[in-house]
Structure 1
Amino acid sequence: MQQIKLIIWDMDNTFWSGILAEGDIKLNDANVQLIKDLTDRGIVNSICSKNTFDDVKTKLTEAQIWDYFVFPVIDYEPKGFSVKNIIDNCQLRPENVLFIDDDERNLQEVAYHNKGINVSLPYIIEDLLKMPECEGEDKKHSRLDKYKILEKKNERKRVFNSNIEFLMDSNIEVAIKNDCMSELDRIHELIIRTNQLNYTKKRISKEALRNILNDSEYTNKYVHVKDKYGDYGIVGFCSVFHGELVHFLFSCRTIGMGIEQYVYSEMGFPKLVVKGEVVNNVNGEDKPSWINAGFNENGEKTTDTRTHGNFVIRGGCDLEQMLPYLNIDDKCITTEFNFRNFHRDHTFITCGCLRYSEEIKKQLLNDVGFLNEDCFDTSVFKHEKQIVILSLLMDYAQKVYHVKEHPEIKLAFGAFPEDLDYLSYGWREEQNDFYINHLVPEGRIKAEDLYNNLQFIRDNIDKDNLLILINGCEVPSVNPKEVGREMVHKEYNKIVDQFVNENSCNTKLLDMRTIVQSTNDLNDNIRHYKRHVYYKMAKELLLLIDDDEISVRTGVSRAVIDVKHMLAKKANSIKRELMKK
């Protein structure tokens, strides 16, 4: 046996006792310490286990050793090729690798596909630190750090290639135009409303914008985008003054397309001072190869516009990225997205549109700094034929408040558990006072309140109108501020599952658990996704609608709505009474 540089571990009945998928396991403290001792000797550790990735990660994170492993392969694929991939990623020879597994068949398979590798049953574990092949010293963990960097590079490369294939196939075309005055209203709307891809965040009046467009010292351009799925319209604006970008902003619907980097390169990489946070940073070197310059102004969409009636979509503005892939006439879609940081898609806000009197809503809009003027405006409850689509992600994320004098009045804002830096929002002094003295924080929404809010919404939408709920994914977040957030999503997803099951006659679920498969599908946080995810969301949404329309045409679903609805409500009422007892 040659010097061991990498040990690849099986988990079940090897690193720990028991099988994780069948219940609880017993983690040996000696093995936990062994991983640390091996790392101190410069020996790197990896995992090849037939298990669920998140479950293994959770156990090892609880033991505080997850970060000691590199290139873990945790799935149900054959181990021979999985181990080969680990070795290739680590850029090592099989002769310097030890694979430990309790199953002889796995050992034989790995040995067959990795000539020269060292394999062993778990009995070797207690002797590892005594073996001369495992000697060495690396107290600073420089070798582990080296492989962690290599791991990140490989991950970025893999994600990049995966997303690029989708973008290449999208046939994205960008036209950068000069006649900004003819699009004054649309450009001003972008300046006021954009946030996640607004790099300068200078909110100016329409008159101030007009002055800039008429000033010869400014170079002004707007951006028009199309791809094979449709025409996005005017989605960006940039203004350069003496070599520096004073305005550089793009619509949410272009997130993940690389439009901002392409335009920045076309502008010659002028000086840019980024204000606040943005979803995607730009650099002074790259030019996306998947974007084509210009297009025929008279060009037609390459896909047919579908007809499904009217839609109301209430949720985060990231859902704008889904709209082009629906191929539905814009006139048929009413969007109720957030205005910058002012979300209105929490169920307490949506319910408040009906629950609160006009007098109360008017008073709240005056007193509460985090409510935008359109907060309580909604088409969700219109008594007309339409499909209602609600994203529930703000219920999963935001902090709930109630008015001290009226506990039944509840609102939501910010993020839980973070404390709100209300002074940074520029509220009026009386609004700051109201926040401090009259709003009581409750934390995240209670499970029972979420269910009741959904039932209130469902009861107040015409029973013949389809309600589609969008839940949250359950993969670990890429954002360090959201460690463990996937567990919160799992908790609330159970409530949503129960609600959809009990109202299945006219309520469906756009299940993000089946679409977002790994952190590779996430953008900057657990609620924002890569471009291809919104494409998949749109296609799944159309399938849900098609299935419902087939049911309606055949008379299967709507004929039994009244009976099912009545029985479901009665069953829910009985459950709650039993819980109270």
Structure 2
Amino acid sequence: MPASAPAQPIKLVIWDLDDTFWRGTLSEGSVEALAENLQLVRDTAARGLVHTIVSKNDFAPAEARLRELGIWELFVFARISWQPKGPIIKELLSQMQLRAANALFLDDNPANRAEAQFYNPELRVADPTELPQLVPLLRASGQPDPTLARLAQYKLLERQQQARTQYDDNLAFLRDAQVQVEFREGPAAVLPDLGRLEELINRSNQLNFTKRRVTLPELEASLRDPTRRWGTVRVHDRFGDYGLVGIYCLNEAENRLEQLVFSCRILHLGIEQFTYAHLGFPVLAVQGDVATELNQTEKPDWITVQAASAATETPAVVATPTGQQLRVLLKGGCDLGQLTPFLQAFDLDVAEEFNFNNEHQIPVHLEHTLLLRATREWPAAEQQRLAAALPFLGREAFDTRLWEPGYDVLVYSPLMDYTQPLYCERATGRRVPFGAYQDITAEPPAALAARYAQRRFQGMSEGFLQRFAREFEHEGPISPAEFQQNLQWLRAQVPAHVPIFLLSGAEIDVPGSGETGARQRHELMNQALAEFVASAENCFLLDVRAFVQTPADVTNNLRHYHRRHYRALAQQLAQAIGAWQGQGLGHSPWADLKARAVGLLPAKLRGLLGR
């Protein structure tokens, strides 16, 4: 194939092995691994690309060699045999439920490439010598998928397809598959999956019956509309958990479906027809081509409904003794402290870990994901050295309660990743965040030191700033991809049974804040956050954009909201925690009224009452 950019995105790479994936012929002796191909598979799998093998070889030695290279687990549906490749690829694409136009076949033999295209006319083919030109395209394809969630879904599909071949009767296979569906309805149940909903609606085609694309604000508004019945569909069977695979929106006044969308990974299980029947066969105007034709009579009897409280994907809840409150840890900026009195109106025990003034009287934010990783990954001596050398860190910079037992729910605001630039120590490569939307190494040290002195910061002298500019290089803000990697790391550090509720950022312009480009940065990072939450286990999105929408909703910058919005955020969080644990939280209207009243008092009096 020519190395020009294709019209359709590449979702699947099909590799030949001999003189393509590696150098040499396996059946004739040893082969030489190509490090660039190994790395390409690893990197693109982490962006959701799927890799498979169609190679003329004996299966066992090929698998053994790929296992030696530590790469076997990143391939699915491998077809290693001495059969013609064209028919194999056609069958492979059918089983993987992918179109040939979204696949790329790499093979050094032109006869194999020609045969593959004869059986699959839309298939992209290329000689391995073209790979250097194709690599940028492949690396830019897909979306960040650091948890390899897409690969896991194809492994599940592979298990299902392997089992299907053991049955002569497809209906018998479906009955033995033990297909179970869970429906979740209502804003409290659906809002935590907002990012996944937006992705399915706007990217799915094969099983998108309505094809009504939406923006995130439109979706949020519709989810809160009482005249519309929104729901999500989750599926699992004896082969595994497919996760959230479907969405519907029923206009109840008109009994008309406005959204009916499914992931193609549940194709041929009957989920679409079952959902349509579950909703009572409402009016549905199918738009465009779809892979399944629905009817108004059938309800597949091999599918059963599973109660939400017992669902496979519902996160495990730590059982708390009768009368014992769930313990919630708030980690983020000190403005989150305004959540606490409203949260305490619910049956929750709230602890806080916010920014504070260090021994140099500098307000320090220690919630940046890079600093969280440093608390566990940097040697203690390095932590102490940098804490002593950099006054904007301070001696408590690497202290956190995150790694201690004792909380049941984590609420985390990652807005410092949105805000702070990074500085890299030239001698060691250690990186630290500081400031907001500025490069302190590019400013005149004397003028900058004078401004810090006016704020009574200690240690930020002209001499220190000169030394800092020599020893550290400004890198700019963390990339969305690294941000997602760090969130995945955080998910792995926090016990799996503890849910993490992550706060998004507002997306508005704040005149006079002095933070140029803040809204655009928030838009970029919110997208990365939504992608992470959509693929991560036991993580949920708290989206402030539903009620922080104009400059009048914030104070001095787009991270500080007016107090009434913290009450709304606390209520949204309490509802989400209740949905997570399978029952609503107890609530005291009197405590809520007291919190609202205290919020109207001057700051000094609020502080006294809060002691």
TM-score after normalising by structure 2: 0.38
Structure with higher RCO (Cα < 8 A, 6+ apart): 2
TM-score after normalising by structure 1: 0.40
